[in-house]
Copies of this chain bind each other. A is one copy, B any other.
Amino acid sequence: MESMMIYMPIAMAILGLIYMVIKQSWVMKQDAGDGKMKEISDHIYEGALAFLNAEYRLLSIFVFIVSALLAVVAYFVPTTSYLIVIAFICGAVFSAFAGNIGMKIATKTNVRTTQAARTSLPKALKISFGGGTVMGLGVAGLAVLGLTAFFIIFYKFVFMPDGWTNTDDMTLVLETLAGFSLGAESIALFARVGGGIYTKAADVGADLVGKVEAGIPEDDPRNPATIADNVGDNVGDVAGMGADLFGSYVATVLAAMVLGNYVIKDMGGAITDAFGGIGPILLPMSIAGAGIIISIIGTMLVKIKNNDAKEAQVMGALNIGNWTSIALVAAACYGLVTWMLPETMQMKFFGEGTIEISSMRVFFATLVGLFVGAVISSVTEYYTGLGKKPILNIVQQSSTGAGTNIIAGLATGMISTFPSVLLFAGAIWGSYALAGFYGVALAASAMMATTAMQLAIDAFGPISDNAGGIAEMSEQEPIVRERTDILDSVGNTTAATGKGFAIASAALTSLALFAAYVTFTGIDGINIFKAPVLAMLFVGGMVPVVFSALAMNAVGKAAMEMVEEVRRQFRDIPGIMEGTGKPEYDKCVAISTKASLKEMMLPGLLTIGFPLVIAFVPMIFGMKHLAIAEMLGGYMAGVTVSGVLWAIFQNNAGGAWDNAKKSFEAGVEINGEMTFKGSDAHKAAVTGDTVGDPFKDTSGPSMNILIKLTCLIGLVIAPILGGHADTGVSNIEEINIEKEMVVTDNIAEATITYSVIIDGKEVIKEEKFRGSKEDVDAKLKDFEASNNLANEENKKVIKKINVKKG
């Protein structure tokens, strides 16, 4: 049983994918409605496909370039493997495929939901949530399948065919596996950032000309941009969110595996357990595997019976599924942790030495993760939820104009960082105190275990939104729109809380990657009292701010192109306003597609370029690799801290403005008077929403990708910066070190003579250091670290130390 555990996650992933296929065919079998509805749905489907195809073309080029770069690195750096290229390509392909599944099912489910809504709300929920489930299981299943399959291949067949050797070899396995994660996250960059630009460009373009200039309602089929707008919902909220969480999922599990390997290292380089000595490495994979099955159970619980149900019941049904899966994950974590980990472990803590950690403490760390995942959603809901104090305040401030509405919205987003950051900081501290960075990574893994469920809840929103759009465009009876509106309204809430979950996952994932990075490079830590490291912390802090600005500007530019195209069609196509002329939907889709992919180049370049410049430019100038590694670590920390802040700020400000505007639909009380749509206060709120749109749908969610991709790039570069690359040799058999130190007064002098036996040949080297006793000590330590001698466990090391008092 135990020895087969390595195949458990892959089996669960396949089970999940089988369930997905069954669910998919069930959804596809549902009635897709009559001619007009089907026609609109087909337009959306084709528009989505057009975007995907354009994206894939661009992606192929990108994947080709990065693969070539990785191959070059693998050629020059002996500690890296060519296989990282294969892993990278597969990571990209798997993530793209998962996005493809999600987009296709979402654009097929929307019309079926509309059709179901003509007769039954419970049926409509079942179908729309079924579509979400397909999406969720596709993402989670493929993520776990790909990651675990590659791990088995690398571990069992490439690097350790004869079973466990040592932690260094396992590091190679995991370094190579990082390619898969990098591939996945690269797709996320395209999907999330490109998708975010797409959806808002189409939305703003459709609104500005359609609603404002031509005075036709939202989702009106006469508006040429309306299909692009509906495609955008799928591109941004379905494919973008899916790729984001796919990336988080893979990266979190990978980081936890890296840190699991480090636990084994701390315990002397090898442990004996029933899992082939890799229990701590298998654990996060197993939690992910269990999470898939748990998510399936969770999705099965989501249903309502009453055809007259309101938002509260629908929300309640989702909550039952969600909370049940969180509780089941906690139970699974308890079982897996106590079963798979040694009862006590030794872990090294900086400045505190080695501490005995019981497996129960690791379990508590996973509870911390589940807690954060649950609480962050409540925090998000408080700051962005209808009827809550912050929203009422923004509504109130709208009465004195757009200016005060904007200030109130900005302030709400800014203040919302307070509980969120305290929560994250507490989680970092708590899970670290419980079980070191392994604890932090497992907290993230536990939180991510419900990814499939989260995505199902999340994707059902845009599907319902689309269903409502189709109902409107195909001129259904009002009851249909009412039913889809109930689903859509719940979807808006889950969209906001889903964003909270995505931020939390990105934050914890980045921290876990950050910890993995430090262990990969072999540096002691990241000391921000070194000025270059501090400088990079500043630079890192700046990047999310500039990235956000670029993303916002990109929306503006793309929207302008859309506006002009819509204006042109209104002008040039005869009878378009009377409904006799047919708008050229595909032209608008093409504009959004092209513009979004073009405009994401600059922010993408910023994300990928900065870490590369920081790593390689100082290298050209001969800076020490370990010093560079520390600088890059400072940069990563800067990006993460600032990125998390700006993500929370932008998402919550945007969500708050959105719901402040929506509050006017039902009417709000301002200074004792009921105020409705069309009032001056409502106009001010609409202005706020215009600002909030790119905040919450483009620049805000992009932060997740920025911070994860930054840390992943760091992780992939890590072996190049790591100590073992410095020696330039990979096959040291024996090292003999003689240290002699003479201390006189304040001055110490040390001579190191060392011989290294590489492939049977002996090489003798000598190094001298002079300075104060402390400095020489520091230099000696540095020398050992930079030659990877300090932690040499598997090679024969002979050291002689003479200290003479002069």
Q: Are B556 and A401 in contact (CB under 8 A)?
A: no
Question: From residue 322 to 355 of chain A, which have CB atoms closer than 8 A to chain B?
Answer: 348, 350-351, 353-354
Encode contact with B along A534-560: 1 for CB under 8 Å, 0 otherwise: 111111011001101110110010000
Determine whether A97 belongs to the interface, using a CB cutoff of 8 Å to chain B: no
* A406/B546 in contact, CB under 8 A: no
Interface status of A268 (Cβ within 8 A of chain B): yes
Of A68-76, A162-170, A775-783, the segment with at least 4 beta carbons within 8 Å of chain B is: A775-783
Contact yes or no, A641 B418, CB < 8 A: no
> B691 and A538: CB pair below 8 A?
no
Determine whether the beta carbon of B397 is less than 8 Å from that of A539. Answer: no
Are B531 and A691 in contact, CB atoms less than 8 angstroms apart?
no
Q: Which of A423-453 contact B (CB under 8 A)?
A: 424-426, 428-429, 431-433, 437, 440
B residues within 8 A CB of A782? 351
Residues of B within 8 A of A690 (CB): 401, 403-404, 406-407
Partner of A642, one of B428, B440, B531, B645: B645
Nearest chain B residue, comparing its CB with the CB of A403: B690
Any chain B CB within 8 A of the CB of A9?
no
Contact A641 B691 (CB under 8 A): no
Q: Which residues of B contact A753 (CB under 8 A)?
A: none
B contact residues around A518 at 8 Å (CB): 529
Q: How far is the CA of A647 from the CA of B546 in the complex (A)?
A: 14
Name which residue of chain B comes closest to A554, CB basis. B411
- A787 contacts B by Cβ under 8 Å: no
Cβ–Cβ < 8 Å partners of A801 in chain B: 803
Interface centre among A208, A408, A776, A778 (most CB of B within 10 A): A778
Task: Encode contact with B along A518-536: 1 for CB under 8 Å, 0 otherwise.
Answer: 1000001111111110111
Let me know if B541 and A645 touch, CB within 8 A: yes
**Cβ contacts under 8 Å, A541 to chain B:** 421, 541, 641-642, 645
Write the nearest CB–CB distance from A730 to chain B, whole angstroms.
24
Contact A529 B531, beta carbon cutoff 8 Å: no
Q: Which residue of B lies closest to A774 (CB)?
A: B790
Number of interface residues of A (CB under 8 A): 94
Tell me whether B532 and A432 are in contact (CB under 8 A).
yes
Complex Cα distance, B524 from A530, in Å, reads 10
Residues of B with C-beta under 8 A to A644: 538
Nearest Cβ on chain B to A634's Cβ, whole angstroms: 8
Query: Are B429 and A549 within 8 A (Cβ)?
Result: no
A312 within 8 A of B: no
Q: A422-B539, A432-B532, A527-B526 are in contact. Are A353 and B414 (CB under 8 A)?
A: no
**Which residue of B is nearest A786, CB measured?**
B351
A746 x B531 contact (CB < 8 A): no
CA distance A778 to B781 in the complex (A): 12
Task: Check A769 against B353 for contact (C-beta < 8 Å).
Answer: yes
Binary B-proximity of A753-793 (CB < 8 A = 1, otherwise 0): 00000000000000001011011101100100000001000
A637 to B538, CA, bound (A): 9
Is A240 interfacial (CB 8 A cutoff)? Answer: no
Please measure, in the bound complex, the distance between the C-alpha atom of A216 and the C-alpha atom of B649, giving whole angstroms: 38
Bound CA span A778–B524, Å: 11
Q: Is the CB of A411 within 8 A of B353?
A: no
Neighbouring B residues of A524 by C-beta, 8 Å = 527, 529
What is the bound-complex CA distance between A551 and B522, given in angstroms?
44
Alpha-carbon distance between A511 and B531 when the two chains are bound, in angstroms: 9
A694 touches B (CB below 8 Å): yes
Give bound CA distance, A408 to B550, whole Å.
11
Q: Binary interface profile of A, 264-308, with partner B (CB < 8 Å = 1, else 0)?
A: 000010000000000000000000000000000000000000000
B525 and A527 form a contact (CB under 8 A): yes
Interface residues of A in 400-420 (CB under 8 A from B): 400-404, 406-408, 410-412, 414-415, 417-418
Contact between B528 and A637, CB atoms less than 8 A apart = yes
Q: What's the least CB distance linking A522 to chain B, in Å?
A: 12
Chain B residues, CB < 8 A from A548: 414
Smallest distance from the beta carbon of A250 to chain B beta carbons, Å?
Answer: 23
Is A687 located at the chain interface by the 8 A CB criterion?
Answer: yes
Q: Does A206 contact B (CB under 8 A)?
A: no
Q: Taking the complex as formed, is A515 at the interface, i.e. its CB lies under 8 A from any CB of chain B?
A: yes
In contact, B411 and A549 (Cβ under 8 angstroms): yes
Are B772 and A350 in contact (CB-based, < 8 A)?
no
User: Is residue A633 within 8 Å, beta carbon to beta carbon, of the partner chain?
Assistant: yes
Cα distance A460–B582 in the bound complex, in angstroms: 64
Closest Cβ–Cβ distance, residue A51 to chain B (whole Å): 24
Q: A432-B532, A530-B350, A691-B407 are in contact. Are A538 and B425 (CB under 8 A)?
A: yes
17 A-B pairs besides A525-B529, A641-B641 with CB distance below 8 A are A208-B400, A348-B775, A350-B530, A353-B772, A402-B687, A414-B552, A415-B550, A417-B545, A418-B542, A421-B542, A425-B539, A428-B531, A433-B531, A526-B527, A528-B637, A542-B645, A545-B645
- Offer 19 A-B interface pairs, CB within 8 angstroms, sorted by A: A353-B779, A402-B687, A404-B556, A407-B691, A408-B556, A411-B553, A414-B548, A415-B550, A417-B545, A417-B546, A425-B535, A425-B536, A433-B532, A528-B528, A528-B633, A541-B641, A541-B642, A541-B645, A641-B642
